[in-house]
């Protein structure tokens, strides 16, 4: 009996260590240095943190939830947030590999890729000397000022992440009460 218990405990420890840590469990620490880049990066950090917790621990009934049977379900909304994360990358010419094709992704793979996309976008923002460099200006392309990326896909992703949080509450699975959205931390 002791051997079986020992093996189970070892398996559990191995499984916990094997789980990959995703970005935005908490908001990354950042110096209090207010520039355009750090401000936008912090917006993305807030989005990533909220998305992490809005999508953490969702079950089939949560993913299928659709308010009044109309509009997008939670899973369809999550697909849209994933698409928005890719739009942020594409519009800023952020080269970041996707783990698999969207059509083949499970919910967990899409969640992971969305969080990784937010992190890659954040890093691109912080590496940029001037945000205007991220505006699309090449010949033959429609010019898209960086302001449009803020009020377009960034704001839209924040909006839809809030919907996922609201939908999960309505389906009976509210966000972990230990999450502090103000500080971007989790009480242990």
**How far is Cα of residue 184 from the mean position of the Cα atoms in its chain?**
14
Helix 155-170 and helix 74-91, axial crossing angle in degrees, nearest 10: 160
Q: What is the tens place of the pLDDT at every residue in 75-133?
A: 999 999 999 999 999 999 999 999 899 999 999 999 999 999 999 999 999 999 999 88
Tell which residue, 41, 34, 39, 44, has the closest CA to residue 155: 44
**For 179, phi and psi rounded to 5 degrees?**
-80, 130
pLDDT at 7 over 90: no
What value does the mean pLDDT of the chain take? 89
Strand (E) or helix (H) holding 85: helix 74-91
User: Residue 17 has what pLDDT?
Assistant: 40
Of the pLDDT bands very low, low, confident and very high (cuts 50, 70, 90), residue 34 is very high
- Report the pLDDT value the prediction gives residue 14, as an integer from 0 to 100: 41
User: Of the CATH numbers 3.40.50.720, 1.20.120.450, 1.10.460.10, 1.20.120.530, which one belongs to the domain with range 2-186?
Assistant: 1.20.120.450
Instruction: Spell out the domain ranges in the chain.
Output: 2-186
């Amino acid at each position: 009996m002791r051997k079986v218990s020992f093996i189970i405990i070892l398996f559990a420890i191995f499984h916990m260590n094997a789980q990959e840590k995703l970005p935005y469990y908490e908001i990354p620490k950042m110096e209090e240095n207010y520039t355009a880049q750090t401000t936008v990066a912090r917006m993305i950090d807030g989005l990533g943190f909220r998305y992490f917790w809005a999508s953490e621990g969702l079950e089939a009934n949560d993913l299928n939830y659709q308010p009044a049977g109309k509009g997008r379900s939670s899973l369809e909304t999550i697909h849209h947030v994933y698409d928005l994360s890719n739009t942020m990358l594409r519009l800023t010419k952020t080269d970041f590999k996707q783990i698999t094709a969207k059509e083949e992704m499970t919910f967990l793979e899409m969640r992971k890729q969305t969080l990784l996309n937010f992190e890659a976008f954040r890093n691109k923002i912080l590496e940029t000397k001037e945000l205007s460099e991220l505006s699309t200006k090449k010949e033959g392309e429609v010019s898209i000022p960086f302001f449009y990326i803020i009020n377009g896909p960034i704001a839209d992703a924040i909006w839809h992440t809030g919907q996922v949080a609201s939908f999960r509450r309505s389906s009976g699975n509210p966000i972990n009460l230990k999450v502090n959205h103000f500080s971007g931390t989790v009480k242990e």
